[in-house]
Amino acid sequence: DASQPGDDRMPSFFNKLFSDVRNNPEYSRFQFTVKEEFDSNYPQGTIIDQRPVEGEPIYATGTISVEITVSKGPVRHEMPDVIGRTMTEATEILGNLEGVNIEIMQRYDATARPGDVVSTTPEPGVEFDPKRQTVYLFIMPEVSVEEGTSRPSRRDDEITLGGDDGSRNPWIRDR
């Protein structure tokens, strides 16, 4: 007398550790085909999908093939060192990493060229999960002569380029 579908139902492996399922004698009749994928919502090793799904009729005897997807945990990237690179170069490098969300902020740094990355969050070498953390690039802003510190300071109608020691500055117009 052969077993018929419906004699038994597919158990749920969802949200169980694959190592526990694989080593459980109760599941010895199941043959697992495993696919792994990153998933920030489930720890590494956790079953996040199965086919056939829970509750489907299965044969009560013999080997049962089950396709399962196991979480590799969250995507983890190491923050590359893009400090000193142009904003374009930095965004291209980060664009090669899966799922990275980038925000550009301005930060003044007297040692940097306008448009270059002066710092990042996270810092270079630090691992991060792109689904849970935004990458911030802090860029040296373009500095115009009006905003920069390289312009002469103005006092009333005079232009001073120094001479605070009382010496006559040839650049000061006489009144």
CB 90 within 8 A of CB 117: yes
Q: For position 68, what pLDDT does the model report? A: 97
Helix, strand or coil for residue 27?
A: helix
CB 73 within 8 A of CB 38: yes
Q: For position 171, what pLDDT does the model report? A: 44
- C-alpha 116 chain-centroid distance: 21
Q: Name the burial class of residue 66, with classes exposed (0-12), middle (13-18) and buried (19+) by CB atoms within 10 angstroms of its CB.
A: buried
pLDDT tens digit sequence for 69-98: 999 998 889 999 999 999 999 999 999 998
pLDDT at 145 over 80: no
Cα(112)–Cα(60) distance, integer angstroms: 71
Portion of the chain with pLDDT greater than 70, in percent? 76
pLDDT at 144 over 70: no
* Span 133-156, average pLDDT: 68
* Span 155-175, average pLDDT: 44
pLDDT tens digit sequence for 25-39: 999 999 999 999 988
- Per-residue pLDDT band at 139 (split at 50, 70, 90): very high
Q: HSE, CB side, 13 Å, CA atoms: give it for residue 26.
A: 7
**Which tokens in the block code for residue 166?**
């009382």
